[in-house]
């Protein structure tokens, strides 16, 4: 199940990338994000291959998924693979400088890990797309709000 979406953000590319890359900034546009930890550490000079554990609040509990940075070209691209017991999702954020603004092209591909999840994929796809678009618009609002303050 693939989702693609693009939007223009009225903020510099460095600001937008920070909102995607940094945990504190990510929490501003992804309110379900509880935590991101790097059990093996993080080397900013060689981020590809970095493994992480992401905690996301679902209902009253925090659900954890494992992930890995699969591509990193600051401030132009960040790709991740996130594995949950029900699914795996590959996502890529591509950023392009547009003078003082940033174009964000987002792509994700979700694959099911079990037969039930596969049967539910059409319903999950509609919900997932709406959720991604809502989050990306929250990212735009958060990044643009940062620009208004400066």
Tell me phi and psi for residue 34, to 5 degrees: -100, -40
Determine the pLDDT at residue 146: 85
- Return averaged pLDDT per consecutive 10 residues of the chain, 150 residues in all: 93 96 90 90 90 90 94 97 89 96 95 74 75 92 82
CB 64 within 8 Å of CB 53: yes
Angle separating helix axes 13-21 and 121-149, nearest 10 degrees: 130
Q: 2-31+68-149 in CATH: which number?
A: 3.30.530.20
Question: Would you list the domain boundaries of the chain?
Answer: 2-31+68-149
Burial 115-129 (b: 16+ CB within 10 A, else e): eebeeeeeebeeebb
Determine the pLDDT at residue 131: 86
């Amino acid at each position: 199940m693939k989702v693609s979406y693009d939007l223009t953000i009225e903020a510099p590319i460095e600001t937008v990338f920070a909102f995607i890359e940094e945990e504190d900034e990510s929490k501003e546009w992804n309110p379900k994000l509880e935590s991101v930890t790097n059990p093996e550490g993080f080397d900013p000079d060689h981020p590809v291959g970095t493994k992480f554990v992401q905690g996301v609040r679902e209902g009253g509990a925090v659900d954890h998924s494992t992930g890995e940075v699969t591509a990193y070209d600051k401030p132009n691209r960040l790709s991740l693979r996130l594995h949950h017991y029900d699914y795996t999702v590959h996502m890529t954020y591509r950023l392009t400088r547009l003078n003082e603004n940033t174009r964000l092209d987002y792509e994700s591909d979700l694959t099911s890990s079990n037969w039930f999840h596969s049967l539910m994929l059409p319903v999950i796809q509609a919900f997932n797309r709406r959720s991604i678009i809502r989050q990306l618009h929250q990212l735009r609002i958060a990044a643009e709000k940062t620009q208004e303050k400066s």
